[in-house]
Amino acid sequence: MSGLVEINFDGIVGPSHNYAGLSLGNLAATKNAGETSYPRAAALQGLAKMRHNMALGLAQGFLVPLPRPNGDYLRRMGASGGNSDPALTAAAWSASAMWTANAATVSPAPDTTDGRCHITPANLVTMPHRAQEWRDTARQLALAFADRAHFALHDPVPPSFGDEGAANHMRLCESHDAQGVEVFVYGRTGGAFPARQHEQASRAVARLHGLEPARTVFVEQNPAAIAAGAFHNDVVAVANERVLFTHAEAFADQAAAYEAMRAAFPALEVVEVPSAAVSLEEAIRTYLFNAQLVTLPDGGQALIVPSECRASAAVWSWCEAMLAGNGPIRRVLPVDVRQSMANGGGPACLRLRVVADLATIDPRFLLDAAKADAIEKTIAETWPEQIDPADLGRASLVQTVVGARRALLEALGLHELG
> If you ran DSSP here, which 8-state letter would residue 155 be given?
P
Beta strands in 71-174 (DSSP E): 104-107, 117-121, 151-153, 169-172
The Cα–Cα gap between 141 and 365 comes to 10
Alpha carbon of residue 20 to chain centroid: 19
As beta bridge partners, residue 373 has: none
The catalytic residues are: 164, 232, 349
Determine the angle formed by the axes of helices 369-382 and 39-55, rounding to 10 degrees: 170
Beta strands in 259-399 (DSSP E): 269-273, 292-295, 301-306, 329-335, 351-357
Strand 269-273 relative to strand 292-295: parallel, antiparallel, unpaired? unpaired
In 10 A of CB 77, how many CB atoms? 16
CA-to-CA dists, residue 259 to 150, 254, 267, angstroms: 33, 9, 12
List Cβ neighbours of 244 (8 Å cut-off, separation of 6 or more): 170, 172, 237, 238, 258, 261, 268, 269, 270, 271
3-state helix, strand, coil in the chain (%, to 5): 40, 20, 40
Burial class (CB in 10 A: 0-12, 13-18, 19+), 85: middle
List Cβ neighbours of 349 (8 Å cut-off, separation of 6 or more): 99, 101, 102, 167, 232, 234, 290, 340
As beta bridge partners, residue 5 has: 356
